Amino acid sequence: MKELGIYIHIPFCIRKCNYCNFYSVQYKTELVERYISSISKEISSFTGSSDYYVSSMYLGGGTPSLLELAQLYPIFALISEKFYINENCELTIEANPKTVSAQKTKDWHILGINRVSLGVQSFNNDELFVLGRLHKAKHVYSAYESIIKNTTDNISFDLIYGIPEQTTDKWVNSLKKAIELKPKHISTYCLSIEKGTPFYDKRNELHLPSASQQRKMYYLGLSLLESSSYQQYELSNFSKPGFSAKHNVACWEGKEYIGFGASAHSFYQNKRWANFSDIHQYILYIQNQKKPREFENKIAQREYITDRIFLGLRLIKGINMAEFKKQYNFNIQEEYKDVLRKYQKENLLIIEDNFLRLARKAYFVSDEILSEFV
């Protein structure tokens, strides 16, 4: 049997954060019920999963932690009915600290959720206000305690650096407070100003840290996390031994996944598709027994290989070029010899023991290098 990941998009939020460009809509009970009914029908209509086992399931958003047990249960029941769930399956839910309660964390345990990705973003209340977050630092502590007590100790923190007006000291303070709680996993992301967000609309008014300050923040983060026994396994992700995110690693390694819900993406049997990023259009198509797909493309071998290299180089271990050649009959060193020569000369790419990987000093400028492989 082949490994499969499942992604469920829960697009509901109380309000949209100033930086977020993920698809979301305001929480309304009637709309939630229609959406749950539609996503259940989408799961029920899926065919062709008999040769696969589910190794990870990820509920992202939006704010999945807004939903109650009665709303989530039909989705979990259908997934269990439709797919073979591996006994070591990683079941993750994203959560906003303000929405976490003792009852919800007990309900998550009932559902079998064994990993919680907590949207901390910052431990500084002024930064949380700038970002448009609902929670304050105190909510992180109460949410963390409740999850540990009732659900799981496999908790991940998301943190953001490069926030308007942020200083290096504030970033270090936030990171140290995260480390003190000893979550199993920490992700650190540089703030990106994306189209369609409130930050983008007032981008010329934002006082963002300079590129050199952001670079300093990134590498300070690396050093702090490594000195606290966190292993960096991807450009933005760190974990205690054995607690890397299975779902994300599988995607970076080019494994198949199915996405259900509005705006969800899938890669399955050499095809990529995406559902409509409009909840009403999504529901309408489901009601009319039509696939709610915005696009569907067959993936050519070379395109898949390009994606594998691009994503594989995000992993700190890099790519085993001998295995890659054996699996895809593709010689990276030959096909990209000019690119490799260029960045090896600049000490930004390393070839060692037949592995191709980014040099540490290249991590912060990785996008420029990775784009050469597209």
Question: Domain spans of the chain?
Answer: 2-252, 319-373
**Residue for token pair 């997934």:** 79
pLDDT of the residue at 257: 98
Which strand (E) or helix (H) includes residue 90? strand 84-95
Query: Which CATH superfamily hosts domain 2-252?
Result: Aldolase class I (3.20.20.70)
Q: Which two tokens stand for residue 92?
A: 């993750």
Considering the chain, what percentage of its residues have pLDDT values greater than 70? Answer: 100
Instruction: Summarize the confidence of residues 244-265 as an average pLDDT.
Output: 97
Q: Which two tokens stand for residue 339?
A: 């690119």
pLDDT-derived band at 49, boundaries 50, 70, 90 = confident
How far apart (Å, rounded) are the C-alpha atoms in residues 13 and 95?
A: 11
Q: What is the pLDDT of residues 144-160, one digit of tens each?
A: 999 999 999 999 999 99
Any idea what the Cα angle at residue 114 is, between residues 189 and 55, rounded to 5°? 85
Any idea what the Cα angle at residue 360 is, between residues 356 and 361, rounded to 5°? 120
Considering the chain, what percentage of its residues have pLDDT values greater than 90? Answer: 98
Task: Label residues 357-368 b or e (16+ Cβ within 10 Å = b).
Answer: bbeeebbbeeee
How far apart (Å, rounded) are the C-alpha atoms in residues 114 and 92?
A: 6
Please name which of 125, 158, 160, 153 lies closest in space to residue 139, comparing C-alpha atoms: 125
Please name which of 131, 126, 156 lies closest in space to residue 144, comparing C-alpha atoms: 156
How far apart (Å, rounded) are the C-alpha atoms in residues 273 and 222?
A: 35
The yes-or-no verdict on residue 50 having pLDDT over 90 is no
Task: Label residues 5-17 b or e (16+ Cβ within 10 Å = b).
Answer: bbbbbbbbbeebb
Instruction: Summarize the confidence of residues 301-327 as an average pLDDT.
Output: 96
The yes-or-no verdict on residue 48 having pLDDT over 90 is no
Instruction: Summarize the confidence of residues 121-125 as an average pLDDT.
Output: 98
The yes-or-no verdict on residue 55 having pLDDT over 90 is yes
Cβ pair 276, 285 in contact under 8 A:
yes
Mapping DSSP to helix (H, G, I), strand (E, B) and coil, where does residue 93 land?
strand
How far apart (Å, rounded) are the C-alpha atoms in residues 192 and 236?
A: 14
Cβ neighbourhood burial of 132 (10 Å; 0-12, 13-18, 19+): middle
Q: Which two tokens stand for residue 162?
A: 């490069």
pLDDT-derived band at 374, boundaries 50, 70, 90 = confident
Cβ pair 292, 264 in contact under 8 A:
no
The yes-or-no verdict on residue 80 having pLDDT over 90 is yes
